[in-house]
Amino acid sequence: MKVLVIGNGGREHAIAWKLSLSPKLTRLYVAPGNGGTASIAVNVDIPAKDIEGLLKFCKKEGIDLVVVGPEAPLTEGIVDRFRAEGLRIFGPDRYGAQLEGSKAFSKDLMRKLGIPTADFEVFDSPEKAMDDVARKGVPIVVKVDGLAGGKGVTVATSMPKAMEAIHLAMVKKVFGKAGERVVIEECLEGDEASVIAVTDGKTVRLLASSQDHKRAHDGDQGPNTGGMGSYSPAPIVSAELEKELLDKVFYPIVRDFAASGRPYTGFIFAGLMLTPKGYRVLEFNARLGDPETQVILPRLRTDLLEVLDAAASGRLADVELGWSDEDCVCVVMVAGGYPGDYETGKRISGLSEAERVPGLQVFHAGTRLDGTTLVTAGGRVLNIVGRGRGILEALSATYAAVDKVFFEGMYYRKDIAHRATRAKAAR
């Protein structure tokens, strides 16, 4: 099969790497790709949001299956467009992608289906939103309705901070149309985890659980980021919880979409908070997580291309997913200043030495080739991923490799998986 992966981050490198191992694969392309995908696939210089350009390429090359990595093309209707032209593409259509593209849509769906979530209200007036916050008090969560690159959520612990978040989104419009509506939500306390499902619109299969680290600095301090690291499995996600999520979250959603005449095909990412009163769904994404994918796919024993091909064809019931019993840890190496302003074009060294660490995989996130030299090209630069028998062995492999890599201004967290190691120590 000829396959095109759309995207240019660490998630897409991980997807491409796993697909490259399939005996069913004949040719692999990544658009636009990065410095890492160039070593396992053909990079195609077409941006992920250039739907017409991607469509033209797929027709010309006879692509058998398209796999969409990032959320933006999904919410803009790439699946609808490709299907209208008779091309096979894996991911939800524009309607289904509202699970991620509209916080109000997903929260209303959870309320309708009785899925446990934080209490909330939706507002399209800044005055009414501010009145609601003033009445409820802090701490409180302010979320912009649309896509905001992971920067549209404010956990406000003071009234000025909450009011500022509403003002920035709805009055100053710093997030554009994404902030025309906001969701005001109760602030929950507990541990977070991620559980992702794959579905063909009828059958649902769960991927291995994971947990990521959003804050920029050790001890979960500093600003939110796109993700500073992750690990799998998440000890707080039990087999009993996975069954409950399958029965009471994922299947109800899939059946609701099917009943509406708009079957959902693709990934459904559930971000969870495990509170003293039980689990709550914080949000849904309509694609694989980043950097969760980087620790999930190395543990998948099943041929990923077989899974996606079956799901895209309505045959997911024929496929069972098998998992390694190893733990997996990802440390994200970022450019100095991230998630704020940062410089690019910094030479990267030490990767060949890092990749010689047993059980180690490097996924590129923000890199490019400057001639034959690998340089930085984004805020999140590299994903260093280690495996091992248990979380401590996986951590040891990961940080041993991190120590061998260098680029000017680099930064990374030194406490990835601290919750898992704490849980292990408490046993």
Q: CB–CB of 267/204 below 8 Å? A: no
Q: Minimal CA–CA distance to 369: which of 385, 392, 384, 351?
A: 351
Residues 40-66: what's their mean pLDDT?
98
Structural domains of the chain sorted by starting position, each given as residue range(s) with its CATH number in brackets: 2-94 (3.40.50.20), 119-186 (3.30.1490.20), 191-318 (3.30.470.20), 327-426 (3.90.600.10)
pLDDT-derived band at 419 (thresholds 50, 70, 90) equals confident
Please spell the DSSP secondary structure of 181-218, one letter per residue: SEEEEEPP-SEEEEEEEEESSS-EEEPPPBEEEEEEET
> According to the model, what pLDDT value does residue 180 have?
96
Hey, which residues does 121 pair with through a beta bridge?
184
**From CA 303, how far away is CA 324, in angstroms rounded?**
13
Residue 425 has pLDDT above 60, yes or no: no
**Average predicted confidence (pLDDT) for the chain:** 96
- What mean pLDDT is predicted for residues 297-323? 98
Helix 10-20 to helix 304-312 angle (10° resolution) is 100
Helices (H) then strands (E): counts for the chain: 15, 20
Q: How far is 243 from 266, CA to CA, in rounded Å?
A: 20
Structure tokens given for 39:
């070593």
Is the pLDDT confidence value at 273 over 60? yes
Other residues' Cβ atoms within 10 Å of the Cβ of residue 361: 24
Q: Is the pLDDT of residue 406 over 70?
A: yes
pLDDT reported for residue 167: 98
Q: How far apart are CA 342 and CA 47, in angstroms?
A: 22
pLDDT tops 80 at residue 182: yes
Percentage of residues of the chain with pLDDT beyond 90:
95
Q: pLDDT of 261-271, one tens digit each? A: 999 999 999 99
Q: Which two tokens stand for residue 220?
A: 């979960």
Give 196's pLDDT tier (boundaries 50, 70, 90): very high
The percentage of the chain sitting over the pLDDT mark of 70, rounded to a whole number, equals: 99
Enumerate residues 6+ apart whose C-beta is below 8 A from 306.
22, 24, 319
Q: For the ranges 27-31, 71-75, 151-155, 256-260, which has the lowest average pLDDT?
A: 151-155
d(CA 177, CA 215): 26
pLDDT digits (tens, 9 = 90+) for 324-375: 999 999 999 999 999 999 999 999 999 999 999 998 999 999 999 999 999 9
- On the question of pLDDT at 424 being above 70, the answer is no
- For the segment 266-279, the average pLDDT, to the nearest whole number, is 97
